[in-house]
Structure 1
Amino acid sequence: MSIGISLLFIEKRVEAVRLCAALTEPFATGSVPGHEADLLKDYKLISDRLKNSLEELKESDRLLSTDKSIEAGEVRNGKQRVQTIVQEIARCAQDFAAQVRFFQAMNPASAAGAVPFLKLFEEIDRGTRDLIGEDTSPAEGEELAPAETDSPPDNDPMLM
């Protein structure tokens, strides 16, 4: 199977996980009554799917870096898609970690049962850092593109 199709399947699974957040949130916040055991089972299923997607994505990224039979354009496109998908996985993991924290705050009696899932989502979020790489954005208050101060003076060709 081509790398593009593999990435498409991973992307759609991550998209499905993101949609699950909308389904579990009303139960986690308590705005809709539900069974805590069912919610915890959902968190288990979601964390497993998200973790598997991240592992497959890491394998695809490794394949893009090592397989010389893949064309350069497909490698470039694949790397961009990997970056997009890994950011989506990180966002999902962060959303679910926040949801679990809210669930723990709203249900102190069941808070201990949700701790393993909170740790799983945080672990998944940390696992995305390998693929995201270092943050190259400018620091707070820093210029986005500092002006060049050592460039030669502009010469207008019409005046020469």
Structure 2
Amino acid sequence: MSILFKSKPLTVILLAIYLISLFWIIVLKFNISAYHDGVERSMNWIPFPSLFGLSGQGDLNESLLNIFIFIPFGLYVGILGENWPIGQKLILFFVTSFIFEISQYLFKYGAFDATDLVNNTAGGVIGFLIFAGLEKRLGENKRAHHIINLLGLVGTVLVLSFLFYLKLNHLWIFRMELIQR
């Protein structure tokens, strides 16, 4: 069983599930119509506009969530891109975030926001730094891979269970609204 958590194929599977879930959460907004109603299709190219005295949304909770949700991406890239230069990892974090942000705009499910782009990229960097610190602390990358894969597997099961619960709960509420009409 221990060899399972050390394998890169498991990391690839966990990364794929993570990215699909991330797309469903960020771009498709859980595929719940309530999130799509009244969404303004816009682009904000200035990160943290309130710092420059411009009007814009500056929700700290949303910023922290954007950072937090990209931390697993940095952890997985730490394993799969262990021989990549740091610049290549940074570009991957940025480009992946850019794809998610521009997809929201193109699919009309949200707005492109440069603040989100910066926060998502920062989350990827933080995840990678956590992995690098864990690897350095343990003195061997195989143990770090083992721990990340184990946590990733448990986290994936918990997050998917929670997302499934949210989706079922939303369907139940939607059906109750239809019955009441």
TM range (shorter): 0.3 to 0.5
Structure ranking higher on relative contact order (CA contacts 8 Å, 6+ apart):
2
Under a length normalisation based on structure 1, what TM-score does the superposition of the two structures give? 0.35
